[in-house]
Structure 1
Amino acid sequence: MVLQSVLKVLLPRRCPGCQGQLGHLDGLCAPCRSSLYAQLQSHSPLSGQVTPHLVVLGPYRGVLGRSVRALKYGHSRDLAGVLGTRLAQGVPAWWGVQAVTAVPLHPERLRERGFNQAELLGRQVAGMLGLPYLNALSRNRATGNQAKRHAKDRLGALDGAFLAQPGLPETMLLLDDVMTTGTTLLACAGALRAAGVRQVYFATVAR
């Protein structure tokens, strides 16, 4: 274990985005970092809801897809700093966000993985925006892998899966790492609104 830690410090790393030599920098190489720009999208799977707008870095492919997989499955937690910083740059000031939260993992999944990648991203975004990060949501039952479900089955599977704590700010930003149909974000937003949050905005690294 000690030898592995020493080698990790001494040996050059590979950029998860392009597999080029990263040296001792954290996260992504400079060219891969410069390829990421936050976008405010008004037409998304969330359109037609109370908040149709979504801040996103891009589609789940290429540099972004590989980076998200490295963060989520490769335990490259430093990527949350890079991706979260880029994501924060796209959050409009006119949203008036008062606090940031993230889609929670079920406790069993959290124990297996050891961290919640959405929370790491949320904390980075909150720090960049000068806002508090709140563990506002909990997942009270496991829902399995939503990506493997048909779109029409996802919202039903998530019904009642999330609970929000009371006493939350009126306007919050909700983070996740990847959005497919938006059902997870909508289910979490529903729980936040049931707890008294008036406006929920959304941000996700990839679609």
Structure 2
Amino acid sequence: MNWAPVVELLGHLLMPESCPVCGKLASPLCPECLEKISAPAPPLPHCLRCGGASPCERHGRRYEVRSLTLHKGEARELLLTVKYGGSGLAARKMGAALGRLVGENERQGGWTIVPIPPHPRACFFPRGDSHLQWMARGLSRAVGVPVRECLRWKEKRTPQKRQPDSQSRRAMPEDSFVCAGAAPERVLLLDDVSTTGTTLLRAAQCLYGAGAQQVTSLCWSVARRT
């Protein structure tokens, strides 16, 4: 028996949620709202190293990033609500929607989903799972690829969203991440949004240094480049 729908229903009864898009009660995220936001054709993949279309002449698909939508409007508001509102069920549904970005060859085995880890912080009480951990579970269920949380931040660092400008974001040290043990051979690297792409780039570089042979980055949304 699949207990997930039962657990989700009980969760709605005990702690009713509303859709962060339309406000409908007893729904962490309406399928209709999710479809409306993610229905347009996804932005074209690009290269994290040079910013050009992927596959690019210089780097092939080695640093390819794929996103489901642009980081604006309802897509942006939904992500921010889920990220800071703590709705794990909605985040899981968003992760499942990212399955559109995963090709058939990446569903055949040998791939592993690796989410970007949350930033370390001083806290006396344990915190719940991050929205990216929930998104990773949703993606895993949708495409049949396992999750492994093998990345961590090397040291405490100001999150990218608090950096004053794009130049500061791109100045992230190349050794910002460390990998616990050998990296999976083929990785679907997961983040929520790509603004300059630096976080995903540094994480991909870390995974390649730890033995990965192929890293494809996935994210919910991408900032339009000007």
Q: TM-score with structure 2 length normalisation? A: 0.76
- Say what the alpha-carbon RMSD is for the aligned residues: 2.8
| Contact 1:55–1:90 (CA under 8 A) maintained in structure 2 | yes
CA pair 14-201 structure 1, distance change in 2 beyond 3 A: same
Note the C-alpha offset of 1:134. 0.4
Out of 77, 80, 89, which is 1:66 matched to? 77
Does the alignment pair 1:15 with 2:19?
A: yes
Out of 59, 62, 71, which is 1:51 matched to? 62
Does the alignment pair 1:24 with 2:26?
A: yes
Does the alignment pair 1:116 with 2:130?
A: yes
CA pair 11-131 structure 1, distance change in 2 beyond 3 A: closer
Note the C-alpha offset of 1:44. 5.7
| Contact 1:101–1:136 (CA under 8 A) maintained in structure 2 | yes
Whole-Å Cα distance in 2 between the matches of residues 67 and 45 of structure 1? 24
Report the 3-state secondary structure (helix = DSSP H, G, I; strand = E; otherwise coil) of the residue aligned with 1:141.
Answer: coil
Aligned to 1:42: 45
Note the C-alpha offset of 1:83. 0.4
| Contact 1:42–1:54 (CA under 8 A) maintained in structure 2 | yes
Q: Any idea what the Cα deviations from partners look like across 1:154-176, whole Å, max 9, x if unmatched? A: 24334322001233321110001
Q: Any idea what the Cα deviations from partners look like across 1:109-131, whole Å, max 9, x if unmatched? A: 78685322222211221222112
Which deviates further from its counterpart, 96-105 or 39-48? 39-48
| Contact 1:143–1:157 (CA under 8 A) maintained in structure 2 | no
Percentage of pairs with the same residue: 27
Q: Any idea what the Cα deviations from partners look like across 1:25-74, whole Å, max 9, x if unmatched? A: 3x222431221147362336553555353332212222221221121111
Q: Any idea what the Cα deviations from partners look like across 1:136-165, whole Å, max 9, x if unmatched? A: 211121221312433233243343220012
For 2:144, the aligned partner's letter is G
Consecutive unaligned residues in structure 1, runs of 5 or more: 1-5
CA pair 115-158 structure 1, distance change in 2 beyond 3 A: farther
| Contact 1:18–1:63 (CA under 8 A) maintained in structure 2 | no
| Contact 1:151–1:181 (CA under 8 A) maintained in structure 2 | yes
| Contact 2:182–2:211 (CA under 8 A) maintained in structure 1 | yes
Does the alignment pair 1:131 with 2:133?
A: no
- Point out 4+ residue stretches in structure 1 off by more than 4 angstroms: 10-13, 109-113
Aligned to 2:166: 151
Report the 3-state secondary structure (helix = DSSP H, G, I; strand = E; otherwise coil) of the residue aligned with 1:201.
Answer: strand
Matched residue pairs, number?
199
